[in-house]
Structure formats: C-alpha cells, structure tokens
Structure 1
Amino acid sequence: MPEKLVLQERPSNGILLLRLNRPDKLNALSKELLKELVDILHSAETDQGIGCVILTGNGRAFSAGADISDMLERGVDSYIDPDRLDRWRKIESFSKPIIAAVNGFALGGGLELALLCDIILASDGAKFAAPEIKIGSFPGDGGTQRLPRLVGRSFAMQMVLTGEMVDAAVAERKGLVSEVVKAEDLLSRCIELASSIASKSVAITPYAKRAVQAAYELPLAEGILEERRLTVEAFTTEDRMEGLRAFAEKRTPVFKGR
C-alpha cells in the first residue's frame, strides 16, 4: 500500500488533526495530496464528532507550494486542470473551522493553503513567502487577493514582487498570523485552541465562520445584511435555543449539533 499523503489523528474530543505527508518534497501540493485532503474534509463535514480541524505538515515544512514537476510536464494545463481547481474550491468552502499550524516553510501554494484556513498559528521558526516571482510567475490560487486583505496593500506588494522570506515575528506583526509560539509548543497550543472551538455548537460555528468571512468579501453594508441573514437562520437551530435557555437557567448549555 502506498503511504498516505495526508495523515489523520484525533488528539482530543472534537478535533481532527491532519498532517500533509510528503516531507521529502517539503509537502508540495500534488493533485493526489489535494485529493486526499479534500476527501478527508468531505467526510469531516458531516461528522458531528468533529468541531475543528488542525492542518499542519510533516517534517520541516507546512508546505513548499505547488508541484513544479507537474507544471514542467503539462504547462498551463497543470494550472487550469478542472480537478485541481475544484479541490481548491472545496477546501475554501469547508464549513467548519480550520486552524493552520505552520511548523516551518509556508511558501507559494503552501502560503495560499494557509490563507484558506480560518486561524493561522506559527512556530517561532516558521517562514512565509510568495516566491513565484523568482521563477517568472506570481501567486495564482488566491494569494494576490487574500494576502492584501490581511497584511495591507504595501506589504503584500512587497512579498509578491520580491518573493522574499518573512519570518514568524514579522508575520505576526503584520497580521498574517494570530500567534507565534515555540516550535515544541505549536501543536499543543493549536489543540488547546481547537478544543475551545470544538466545545461550542458544531451547528453554530459554521454560521460564525461565514459571517466573519463576509467582512472581507463584501462591502460593509452588504456584510451587515449577510450577518443579519445568518443570525436569523441560526435561530432555527436547536442549539441556538438551547444556548438561550441555558443562559436564562444559569447552566452550561448541552449542544447537540443541530
């Protein structure tokens, strides 16, 4: 049996830990790896026992980006491949919270994969870059659009036009990551954060995720309308009413995920 390209663990209740597993290739994002990742996320979507996903990489990289060998072989067809693009869309549309645990290099497509996650934590030795310009290209899987929304136009331009590495301290200062911790503490901190998220209603957290995403996808007035629509929709869930009853009765809510 070939070795799995994405390893799965359940480190604690409600948490799915996924490890990209091509360490000899710095976890380059081959079509096969993306397919395994999407298949796992598809199963996790409907598993009410999973409230939060942690995504990290084996070895010294989160991911060094696209599989260059495929680009050399197929040219632009490797980029516009419908299966590849569909897999990126499915990762983007995953409804449950995902925490990226950036344990090393997050370069090119690896950075773009991290940007699809909802929260990014980094080890103190992590490095970030959009190095595509160095090989006559530029980010093409959302990097030119998502990066400026996090770090601002000027610094995004600097990263994209120079391809230079950014260390974890700068990434935190610029808002690319929410926390930087020691390498040996990265997974334990992510598990702690994921446990807090997973203890909440798995019926409600997808609404909260979608509402926050609307903040940088829509103009303010439209975002507020979307927030209102999602709030009304969430009122139809059992967990929303259970939360209200528990507050009124001064007890801990018992969420059922529906």
Structure 2
Amino acid sequence: QGYQLQVPLPGVSGTVSGPGQYIRAIFTYGLSIVGIAALWAIVIGGFKYLRSGGSETRKTSGKEWIWGAVIGLVLMLCSWLILNTINPKLTSLSEPGLMAITLEPHRGLSYNEGTKTYDVKTWNDVKSLASYSNNDITAAVKAAAAAYPNVPEDMIWAVMGQESGKVGVSAVSPKGAQGLMQLMPGTARSLGVTDPFDPGQNVMAGTKYLSMNYQQFGNWTDTLGAYNAGPDRIRQYGSGANIPFKKTQDYIANIKGIVPQYF
C-alpha cells in the first residue's frame, strides 16, 4: 500500500510507501540543491577572482564567495556526520517500526456454591480473576463468607479481583497494601494477620474488615468507599458516593459492575 504524490519530486516515482520516504526524498533533494548552489558559488567566486584585474575589492569579493561556499559545505558535512554518529536513523529518516500489541481475550472465573455457579466477570482482562482457581483461595473465600454472613461470597471475589487482579497472593501495591484483598500492614496487624500472603489469613481479615464497615454503614457503596479510602472519609463526606477521589469512585463502580445485585 502506498501514497500517490500530488506534487512529484525528482528521483521519486508517483507513489511512496509512507511519509518517511517522502520526507527522505525532500531531504535528499534539498541536499542536492545546497550542493549545486555551493558549486555555483565557488564558480562565481573563482570567476570574480580571475576577472579582478588587480582590483583588491574584486579579489576580496571572489574569495568571500569561495570561502562562504566551502564553509557552507563543511558545516553541512559536519552536521550530517554528527547526526549519523548519534544515530544513523536520523540521517536515513527511516520510519520507526511499531511493536505489535496482542490483546488477550476477556476471561473470568466460575466457582460453585452447592448447586449454584457464580460467573464473576471482570471489567477488563488486566483485572481478570482467572488466577483465582487455586483451591486454597476458594476455600479461604468460602470460610470467610461463612464466618461473616453479611459479606456474600461473590462480593469477596469481586473485591479481590479489584484489589489484586491477576497478581494473586503476591500482590503488593505501590503504597504497601499486601495480598489478595490488599490489606495495609497496620490494618492487617490490627485484624490479627501474621502472614499477609497466606490466603486464609488475608481473605478472612479482609472479609472481617468489609463486615465491620458494612455493620457500621449499612450499604455497599459506603462499605466499599470505606474499604478503599478509609471509614473517616465516609464520615467526612457523608457517603461513599460523595468521596471526591476518582480512584475510589472507579473502585466502587467497577465492583458494582460485577455484583450489581447488592447496590
């Protein structure tokens, strides 16, 4: 596939492969013009020098033409050498290659509760719950939901997907939150966690924290806002929906998109 030129250039056919080839042709054409102009300047300077007839003014004028042309050619050559030394592609004007990007298909996770099967689908593949097929994690979720009945299993999975994504048990946030449900070290210690990367301890403590917030605020918008930004933010702004942080609003919206039945 090429581009048809509306304004042809010498030495270039009517079609070019892309903008890079067209710019390269202009660059080459420009260098040719500069070279020809410099050659003519040398010829004119030499002619003036030879025709000076002993006049110092004409000799000086001829020399200036010659030296000006030579200096221009030297500067052009030095510029080319510098660019070519830094990066040869700067002088070849080749188009940059683009790395191909392959998107993985959307994935989710199914898990069973008796005869009922939940399909937990994430909002994008990066936050896929596919890595949570580990039996230890499934058992941890079931145990936590049994210990804190006001926190449904699918809510735990949804929070886990938002918090840890595909990283799983080893997830650590830039702020230091650890494990599947991303407990901050201080929160983890206050909830009795000794190993934040143990799925059983982490999920149980994270679910307990969800349960405590749900008991206090009575709805999942405020509960999730408290889990993400802290209970003090709910008291400060009156509701999780009023917290003016995009990260928290996205957090609530993403989980709501997975388990809308609780909102």
User: TM bucket by the smaller chain?
Assistant: under 0.3
User: Which has the larger share of strand?
Assistant: 1
User: Which has the larger share of helix?
Assistant: 2
Bigger relative CO (Cα 8 Å, ≥ 6 apart): 1
User: Taking structure 2 as the reference length, what is the TM-score of the superposition?
Assistant: 0.21
Highest Rg: 1 or 2?
2
